[in-house]
Amino acid sequence: MSILPLPANCETLHLERPAPHVLMVRLDRPDASNALNTQMGAELKQIWDALYVDQQDVRCVVLTGTGEKAFCAGGDLKQRNNMTDVQWQQQHALFELGMIAMMNCPIPIIAAVNGAAYGGGCEFVAAADFAYAAETARFALTETSLGIMPGAMGTQNLPRAVGDRRAKEIILTAAPFTAAEALAWGLVNKVVPLPDLLATTLATATRIATNAPISIRQAKKSISMASQTDIALGYKYEIEAYHRMVPTEDRLEGVRAFNEKRQPDFKGR
43 is catalytic: no
**Catalytic member of 68, 96, 143, 260:** 143
Contact 25/61 with Cβ under 8 angstroms?
yes
Rounded Cα gap, residues 249 and 269, in angstroms: 5
123 is catalytic: yes
Rounded Cα gap, residues 109 and 157, in angstroms: 14
The 8-class DSSP code of residue 55 comes to -
Q: Which of 219, 222, 221, 210 is nearest to 268 (CA)?
A: 210
**Catalytic member of 123, 135, 181, 260:** 123
Rounded Cα gap, residues 113 and 175, in angstroms: 18
Rounded Cα gap, residues 57 and 103, in angstroms: 19
The 8-class DSSP code of residue 7 comes to P
Residues 61, 64, 69, CA angle at the centre, nearest 5°? 175
**186: which strand partners?**
none
Contact 250/268 with Cβ under 8 angstroms?
yes
Sheet with 60-65: strands ordered across: 13-19, 22-27, 60-65, 109-113, 130-134, 190-192
Q: Which residues are catalytic?
A: 123, 143
